[in-house]
Amino acid sequence: WREQILGSAPHVSVYSYEPDGMKDYSTVTEKVKSLEGVKSAGPFIEKQAMVSSEKRVSGAVIRGVDLGSAKFFLGRQIVAGGLSLMDGSGLKEGAGPPPGEGRRGGVVLGASLARDLDVVVGDEITVISPMGVPTPMGMIPRMKKFPVVGLFQTGTGYDSVLGYMSISDAQSFFAMGGRADGVQVWVKDVFKAGAVGRKITDELGSPYWTRDWKEANRALFAALRWEKVAMFIILALMVLVAAFSIVSTLVMMVMRKGKEVAVLKSMGATRKSIMKVFTVQGMIIGVIGTLIGAAAGMVVSKIQQTYHVIRLDSGVYGLDILPIKIEYWWGFAFVCIVAVALTFLATIYPSRRAARIDPVEALRYE
């Protein structure tokens, strides 16, 4: 699920305060790669654009990357085509633009974006940049055709908005002049991305700064935190209702068994033994219910992990499946223990009420 949330986004992004982008991105990339905890790094350009096919038009984010880093983070997510033609080096003789226009590479689109445009691998799309080109007639949008050479699918919202091209094509198309927007970094432990980002900042110094994946998805994780609070409250209320159900069940049992309790007390049963009978009965109900609930929870979790029965709209939630995973078994055991403890507390009042039954009053009219 962590890979789903991150999609193809970098764990740490390195930026520069230089106004027109990062000049020495090659040097920065090599320095970052040499740091401990870094798995891979590569320069990138990220710009908003319009993409159109013969039938449809859609907004998109075009990300220019080098082929080496693209193979690292995008290789496993390719569902059609490939990355080898992204830089244009693998195009067959005679393919591509007419003579004189220069060799161009292709673009790799998210699967959802490709469906929106109604294109497949081999079709052409037109990328339109909002940054205009000055002409005698005024500013006109910059546009260029690119072949679709691959489709990727991460199962997140990135699939509907993101497209990749080689960084050289992006520099040329967006008139970056040999610059990059930054360097994207993948770390060995995603939970240490913040520490690695601080290490990168200390190593590079001014004018560079970093942003990790938690900062980039701050709104999402804030929503998840509030959702956890809400789920805790809902589950606590459910457990409270279950505890009251046990209390009411045992109270009704005491009312129905009042005569039997009176007979037992008249035969010499002590208050402690009467309390023990109803406490054991309540605990049996609680323990059996806890075991059944725990087993059902594990079975449902395993089914969801294996078959992905519960699916989500990735455009709304950022994920196409509901992620379920029991990471901390001690937490699972703690919940079961708390449920049993609450069951014990729920048996105290009914059992004490049963122990206080007066045999004379209960058997007066028998």
68-107 tens-digit pLDDT: 888 878 888 888 888 888 876 544 434 444 433 444 589 9
pLDDT in tens, 328-337: 788 889 889 9
Distance (Å, whole) CA 72 – CA 10: 11
- Backbone phi and psi for residue 234, each to the nearest 5 degrees, phi listed first: -60, -45
* Contact of 63 with 44, CB cutoff 8 Å: yes
**Tokens linked to 156:** 């997140």
pLDDT of the residue at 98 = 42
How far is the CA of 117 from the CAs of 110, 113, 121, in angstroms? 11, 6, 12
How far is the CA of 271 from the CAs of 352, 356, 361, in angstroms? 8, 7, 16
pLDDT of the residue at 21 = 86
Half-sphere exposure of 333 (CA within 13 A, CB side): 3
CB atoms within 10 A of CB 346: 24
Distance (Å, whole) CA 335 – CA 331: 6
* DSSP β-bridge partners for residue 139: 134
For residues 217, 221, 222, 228, the Cα torsion angle rounded to the nearest 10 degrees is 170
Helix and strand numbers (H, E) in the chain are 13, 10
- Helix (H) / strand (E) containing 66: none
**Tokens linked to 203:** 């190593």
pLDDT of the residue at 331 = 83
Distance (Å, whole) CA 361 – CA 366: 10
pLDDT of the residue at 104 = 59
Pairing of strands 107-110, 78-81: unpaired
Distance (Å, whole) CA 127 – CA 142: 8
User: In the chain, where do the E strands start and end?
Assistant: 12-16, 38-52, 57-65, 78-81, 107-110, 124-135, 138-152, 162-166, 182-187, 208-212
Q: Show the CA angle centred on residue 42, arms to residues 208 and 87, nearest 5°.
A: 135
- Helix (H) / strand (E) containing 65: strand 57-65
* DSSP β-bridge partners for residue 126: 52, 145
Counting as low any pLDDT under 70, the low residues of the chain are 1-8, 88-104, 133-138, 314-319, 365-366
CA proximity to 274, closest of 253, 289, 290, 288: 253
Tokens 């830089």 sit on residue: 87
How far is the CA of 312 from the CAs of 25, 315, 318, 354, in angstroms? 38, 9, 8, 51
- For the chain, the distance separating the N- and C-terminal CA atoms, rounded to the nearest angstrom, is 66
The distance from CA 216 to its chain's CA centroid, rounded to whole angstroms, is: 13
Max Cα separation, the chain? 112
**Tokens linked to 356:** 């206080």
Is the four-CA dihedral 30, 31, 35, 38 of positive or negative sign?
negative
Distance (Å, whole) CA 235 – CA 297: 14
